[in-house]
């Protein structure tokens, strides 16, 4: 049977494949992904592909079609069922699989879905994803064959591995966990039974409609229920996950949000007690405080591109033991596998919190203070966004500005820094700025706005966009 397929071009993204179910993504796309990716695995001499899926209503049908496509390319498919994306990464490593695919819409709206792909336990992204589109369009796949499939329940092994190697808690904690009705629910409900202290799980039932709130812990509005529960219970902290549990959100004992770069610094300082001199990576959107304080704590800070696939590649390249992004992805290669796992990062944080002399809020308040904007996203056509960055970079170079250009432009001045980069996943530009004072931040925002105006881009709404950090 001749195989040909054309993906909607908007579905083939930088880090994954995703779209709106029934419009730009469907079971025929899932079959094509299975057929083409399995052909890549076969070309590398591989035979085994692990497949899992999240709790979205469309995920079971997409998973079945994906399995069929992989089997048609001769793969031995290991199906691990519904669970978090990090559990798929664990299963791939634990089973020494040749490839792995997760059906997940991550933190996107309920009618969206997608696929995250791993080849030989390394991220499969960028040109590799584009290659799948070319293979499907040209029918460049291995001859049709009859693969095999088997179900393997890895939840118990994953939980056991999460718990193994935890440091002894100095004190038992009172913790609230918000699964957001996402794919972490079943695993978290089992995991907390093995932890000392008091643990309350919110929205643990996996429900792809996300009835409680949208599962994106980077948006403060989605943390309101968790904050209220932490304050009501007098809890030590609250933990939140996104839809597939590879991103982590945290609130302290007062209900204040611990931003992802602050959390990375807290985790880094603790790890450096036993791993002095370790390389620790933060993405280009992180506070300068993170890089400065990691250095003061005896670590080697490294600024890198945003994106979970970029981070994993950079960790492998540098031998870094920890990395983190403002989006809430945390990657431990210290006593873990190096992939982004919000459940494991949460357990590491519990270890840290149990040893603190005071509450987590005291540690947060003791961090060096700055004033910053949140991450600002504003529309810019895909056909224009990278050109804007090129134009801004050229003007900055002509002006002799101090710029890091590994991912967009991050400009450092005596007032602080500002960032402008093109989103890899949306028709948008991304901006952020951080200053020592409000007046310094205002000057940085003015400089950023001036550059955007010179490129004819509508300015983002900066009103009220400043937070103590």
- What confidence tier does 332 reach under pLDDT thresholds 50, 70, 90? very high
User: Which range of residues forms the domain containing residue 81?
Assistant: 17-152
What pLDDT sits at residue 462?
Answer: 67
- Residues 331-355 have a mean pLDDT of 97
Catalytic residue among 39, 92, 106, 327: 106
CA 431 – CA 376 distance, rounded (Å): 5
Fill in the DSSP letter of residue 194: G
Pair (147, 279) in one structural domain: no
Indicate whether 464 pLDDT > 80: no
Domain at 233, CATH number: 3.40.120.10
Residues with Cβ within 8 Å of 235's Cβ and at least 6 positions away in sequence, in order, are 174, 175, 176, 198, 200, 229, 253
Of 366, 386, 411, the domain-final residue: 366
- What confidence tier does 465 reach under pLDDT thresholds 50, 70, 90? low
**Is residue 106 annotated as a catalytic residue, yes or no?**
yes
- What confidence tier does 169 reach under pLDDT thresholds 50, 70, 90? low
Pair (222, 334) in one structural domain: yes
Task: Give how many domains the chain has, as a whole number.
Answer: 3
What pLDDT sits at residue 253?
Answer: 98
Pair (413, 443) in one structural domain: yes
Indicate whether 201 pLDDT > 60: yes
Sole residue written with tokens 């990464």: 89
371-424 pLDDT per residue, tens? 999 888 888 988 899 999 999 999 999 999 999 999 999 999 999 999 999 987
Pair (129, 163) in one structural domain: no
Which pairs with CB-CB distance under 8 Å and at least 24 residues apart come from 396-405? 396/451, 404/284, 404/303
Pair (179, 309) in one structural domain: yes
Q: What is the mean pLDDT of the chain?
A: 95
Query: For residue 153, with 0-12 CB atoms within 10 Å meaning exposed, 13-18 middle and 19 or more buried, which class applies?
Result: exposed
261 occurs within a structural domain? yes
Sole residue written with tokens 């989006």: 327
What is residue 37's three-state secondary structure? helix
What is residue 132's three-state secondary structure? helix
Under a CB-based contact definition with an 8 Å cutoff, are residues 209 and 178 in contact?
Answer: no
Query: For residue 168, with 0-12 CB atoms within 10 Å meaning exposed, 13-18 middle and 19 or more buried, which class applies?
Result: exposed
- Residues 187-207 have a mean pLDDT of 97
What pLDDT sits at residue 388?
Answer: 96
Indicate whether 466 pLDDT > 60: no
What pLDDT sits at residue 463?
Answer: 62
Indicate whether 30 pLDDT > 70: yes
467 occurs within a structural domain? no
Residue 160: both structure tokens together = 């056991």
Indicate whether 245 pLDDT > 60: yes
- Residues 167-194 have a mean pLDDT of 93
Of 366, 392, 407, the domain-final residue: 366
User: pTM for the full model?
Assistant: 0.94
5 occurs within a structural domain? no
Indicate whether 25 pLDDT > 70: yes
């Amino acid at each position: 049977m001749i195989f040909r397929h054309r993906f909607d071009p908007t579905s083939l993204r930088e880090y994954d494949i995703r779209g709106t179910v029934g419009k730009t993504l469907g079971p025929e796309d899932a079959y094509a992904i299975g057929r083409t990716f399995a052909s890549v695995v076969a070309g590398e001499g591989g035979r085994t592909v692990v497949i899992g899926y999240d709790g979205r209503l469309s995920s079971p049908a997409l998973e079945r079609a994906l399995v069929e496509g992989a089997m048609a390319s001769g793969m031995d498919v290991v199906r691990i069922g519904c669970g978090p994306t990090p559990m798929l990464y664990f299963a791939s490593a634990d089973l020494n699989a040749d490839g792995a695919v997760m059906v997940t819409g991550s933190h996107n709206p309920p009618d969206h879905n997608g696929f995250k792909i791993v080849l030989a336990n390394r991220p499969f992204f960028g040109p590799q994803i584009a290659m799948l589109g070319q293979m499907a369009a040209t029918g460049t796949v291995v001859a049709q064959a009859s693969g095999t499939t088997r179900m393997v329940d890895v939840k118990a092994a994953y939980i056991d591995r999460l718990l193994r190697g935890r440091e002894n808690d100095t004190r038992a904690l009172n913790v609230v966990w918000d699964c957001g009705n996402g794919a972490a629910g079943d695993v978290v409900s089992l995991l907390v039974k093995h932890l000392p202290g008091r643990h309350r799980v919110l929205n643990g039932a996996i429900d792809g409609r996300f009835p409680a709130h949208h599962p994106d812990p980077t948006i403060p509005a989605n943390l309101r229920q968790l904050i209220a529960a932490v304050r009501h219970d007098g809890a030590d902290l609250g933990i939140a996950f996104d839809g597939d549990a590879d991103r982590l959100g945290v609130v302290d004992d007062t209900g204040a949000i611990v931003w992802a770069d602050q959390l990375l610094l807290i985790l880094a300082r603790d790890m450096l007690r036993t791993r002095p001199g370790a390389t620790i990576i933060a993405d280009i959107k992180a506070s300068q405080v993170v890089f400065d304080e990691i250095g003061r704590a005896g670590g080697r800070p490294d600024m890198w591109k945003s994106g979970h696939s970029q981070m994993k590649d950079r960790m492998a390249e540098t031998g870094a033991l920890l990395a983190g992004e403002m989006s809430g992805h945390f990657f431990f290669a210290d006593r873990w596998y190096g992939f982004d796992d919000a459940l494991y990062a949460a357990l590491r944080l519990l270890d840290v919190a149990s040893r603190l002399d005071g509450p987590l809020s005291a540690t947060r308040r003791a961090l060096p203070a700055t004033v910053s904007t949140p991450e600002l996203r504003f529309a810019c056509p895909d056909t224009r966004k990278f050109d804007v960055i090129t134009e801004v970079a050229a003007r900055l170079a002509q002006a002799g500005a101090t710029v890091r250009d590994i991912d967009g432009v991050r400009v450092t001045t005596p007032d602080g820094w500002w960032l402008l980069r093109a989103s890899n996943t949306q028709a948008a530009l991304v901006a952020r700025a951080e200053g020592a004072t409000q007046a310094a931040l205002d000057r940085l925002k003015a400089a950023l706005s001036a550059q955007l105006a010179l490129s004819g881009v509508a300015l983002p709404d900066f009103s009220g966009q400043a937070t103590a950090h």
